[in-house]
């Protein structure tokens, strides 16, 4: 990792942040940025840079970055594109550690001259620059936040182990909001926009060493160096699973992707081949992106044999259908397991896979059945179907399913289908790191992706 990339840490763990374009006027980007840092409890020093003011929202304001009397680690620029090179030069002379350029108006509109000046200044002073034309970064551990969308409109997630790297700020903001909604924690959010100085490859290189990050989401529209991306995906994916989504795949969508960030969208089949070669998990849409990424917090299965537990026979059958359609296997129980399960079921119940605990099954039946199947060496993962609407079911099941997920002996997914009442259970489970799905097929697809990744890692380990 070169020196410029090592200094990227100052954008996530800065001791001080300066907002160029900081303002107190309602609905201004600079105002939102200042409020997000102040109200988000960022613990470092916050400065505004704007020649119109001497103070903004109770924080000191200076005409230029170089006028700030103390050292500045991170500068966020939210001013017109033509002003950016001059501000970046001022940052370099000040000794600023890193810069985020939110401003648009560069390659995406044909202003390559401004982009080239940015690159030259970054190289001159060895400053890492994220952007332009982006949302920048958000780190829930340090509360540094350059997302210029108000927190009351776009909720921020809490700390977790998933890093999200995206070219698109709009897609990024949607994922951030949904992650917060479902209680999914993140390690870092990085919206790099045009990637003029630092691009997706640099972010993968940086995140490879990041202690908080264990899983990476990668949203791409186009890249500048496909070969380099392939090499970094191949290097990082075995250590930290990557779930990738490529947009701008076909026809006019490719042209739209280029006009968005100024990067060449390229032939989708080339991306698909690269994902396959690097064994990266590819999602086809945002729903799959969420479905796949949350499964990677589960332990890697030793095989593809799945046990299904349900309190509704029909939902169990649908789950079994999904298992077969995805090329997974319905697990066969050992004789010891069958004897233990028979003791759990009512007299009219039958031991099978799917295991139907019947509609009058309570929380205790789930708890016992999960423990029995966790001990069966012929079972690699568990798909637990939960009809929350049945009379015996109550909130204690959240604790049972959380313990099953935390057990770490086998991968676990939960499946619940229903309205607002069921959704409340799902959100509670998600907030505790239990992957929860609202359809059998979505759950099994995710499990299939985890199983494939586990098989690939196992093969790599055997081959040395």
Condensed to tens digits (0 to 9), the pLDDT of residues 157-209 reads 999 999 999 999 889 999 999 899 888 999 999 999 999 999 999 999 999 99
4-18, 36-50, 283-297, 450-464: least confidently modelled range: 450-464
Pick from 347, 352, 348: nearest CA to 333: 352
Rounded-to-integer distance, Cα 190 and Cα 100, Å: 10
- Could you say which DSSP state residue 153 is in? T
Quick one: pLDDT at residue 359?
82
What is the Cβ-side half-sphere exposure of residue 456, based on CA atoms within 13 angstroms? Answer: 17
In contact, 182 and 158? CB cutoff 8 Å: no
Reported as a single tens digit per residue, the pLDDT across 283-306 is: 999 999 999 999 999 999 999 999
- Could you say which DSSP state residue 279 is in? T
DSSP-assigned states of every residue in 351-377: --SSEE--TT--HHHHHHHHHHHHT-T
Rounded-to-integer distance, Cα 234 and Cα 244, Å: 13
Element (H, E) at 137: strand 136-139
- Could you say which DSSP state residue 301 is in? P
- Percent of the chain at pLDDT exceeding 70: 96
Rounded-to-integer distance, Cα 122 and Cα 2, Å: 13
In contact, 401 and 429? CB cutoff 8 Å: yes
Rounded-to-integer distance, Cα 451 and Cα 328, Å: 9
Q: Do domains 3-295 and 305-463 have the same CATH topology?
A: yes
In contact, 100 and 11? CB cutoff 8 Å: yes
| 3-295 is classed CATH 3.40.50.720 | yes
Whole-number mean pLDDT of the chain? 93
Quick one: pLDDT at residue 266?
61
Quick one: pLDDT at residue 407?
95
Q: What share of residues in the chain are helix, strand, coil (percent, to 5)? A: 45, 15, 40
Quick one: pLDDT at residue 257?
44
Asked whether the whole model's pTM tops 0.85, one would answer: yes
Average pLDDT over residues 231-245: 97
Within a 10 A sphere around the Cβ of 198, how many other Cβ atoms?
22
Reported as a single tens digit per residue, the pLDDT across 28-50 is: 999 999 999 999 999 999 999 99
Average pLDDT over residues 320-335: 97
CATH numeric code, 305-463: 3.40.50.261
Largest CA distance in the chain: 81
Within a 10 A sphere around the Cβ of 83, how many other Cβ atoms?
14
Residue 253's pLDDT band (cuts 50, 70, 90): very low
359-372: b or e for each residue (b if 16 or more CB lie within 10 Å)? eebbbebbbbbbeb
Average pLDDT over residues 386-403: 93
Domain ranges of the chain: 3-295, 305-463
Residue 250's pLDDT band (cuts 50, 70, 90): low
Compute the radius of gyration of the chain from its Cα atoms.
Answer: 25
Average pLDDT over residues 80-94: 97
- Which of residues 19 and 392 earns the better pLDDT score? 19
């Amino acid at each position: 990792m070169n020196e410029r990339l090592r200094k990227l840490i100052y954008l996530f763990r800065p001791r001080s942040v300066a907002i160029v374009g900081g303002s107190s006027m309602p609905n201004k980007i600079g105002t939102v940025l200042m409020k997000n840092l102040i109200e988000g409890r960022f613990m470092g020093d916050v400065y505004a840079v704007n020649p119109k003011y001497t103070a903004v929202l109770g924080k000191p304001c200076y005409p230029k970055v170089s006028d700030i009397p103390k050292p500045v680690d991170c500068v966020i620029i939210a001013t017109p594109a033509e002003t950016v090179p001059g501000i970046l030069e001022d940052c370099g002379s000040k000794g600023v550690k890193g810069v985020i350029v939110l401003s648009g108006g560069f390659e995406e509109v044909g202003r390559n001259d401004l982009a080239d000046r940015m690159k030259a200044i970054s190289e001159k002073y060895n400053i890492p620059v994220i952007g332009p034309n982006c949302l920048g970064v958000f780190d829930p551990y340090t509360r540094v936040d350059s997302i210029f969308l108000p927190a009351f409109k776009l909720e921020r997630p809490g700390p977790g182990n998933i890093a999200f790297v995206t070219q698109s700020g709009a897609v990024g903001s949607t994922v951030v909001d949904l992650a917060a909604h479902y209680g999914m924690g993140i390690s870092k959010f990085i919206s790099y926009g045009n990637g003029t100085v630092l691009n997706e490859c640099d972010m993968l290189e940086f995140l490879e060493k990041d202690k908080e990050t264990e899983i990476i989401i990668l949203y791409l529209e186009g890249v500048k160096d496909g070969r380099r991306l392939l090499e970094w995906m191949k290097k990082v994916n075995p250590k930290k699973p990557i779930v990738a989504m490529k947009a701008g795949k076909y026809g006019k969508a490719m042209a739209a992707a280029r006009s968005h960030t100024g990067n060449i969208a390229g032939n989708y089949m080339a991306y698909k081949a690269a994902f396959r070669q690097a064994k990266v998990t590819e999602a086809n849409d945002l729903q799959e992106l969420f479905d796949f990424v949350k499964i990677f917090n589960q332990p890697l299965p030793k095989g593809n044999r799945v046990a299904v537990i349900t309190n509704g026979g029909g939902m169990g059958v649908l789950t079994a259908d999904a298992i077969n359609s995805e090329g997974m296997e319905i697990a066969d129980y050992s004789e010891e397991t069958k004897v233990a399960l028979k003791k759990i079921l009512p007299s009219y119940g039958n031991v099978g896979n799917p295991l139907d605990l019947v509609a009058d099954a309570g929380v205790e039946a789930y708890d016992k059945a999960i423990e029995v199947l966790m001990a069966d060496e012929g079972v690699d993962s568990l798909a637990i179907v939960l009809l929350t609407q049945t009379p015996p079911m109550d909130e204690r099941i959240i604790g049972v399913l959380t313990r099953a997920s935390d057990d770490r002996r086998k991968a676990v997914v939960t499946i619940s289908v229903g309205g607002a009442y069921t959704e409340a259970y799902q959100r509670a489970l998600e907030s505790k790191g239990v992957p929860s799905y609202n359809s059998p097929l979505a759950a099994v697809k995710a499990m299939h992706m985890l199983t494939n990744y586990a098989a690939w890692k196992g093969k790599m380990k055997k081959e040395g």
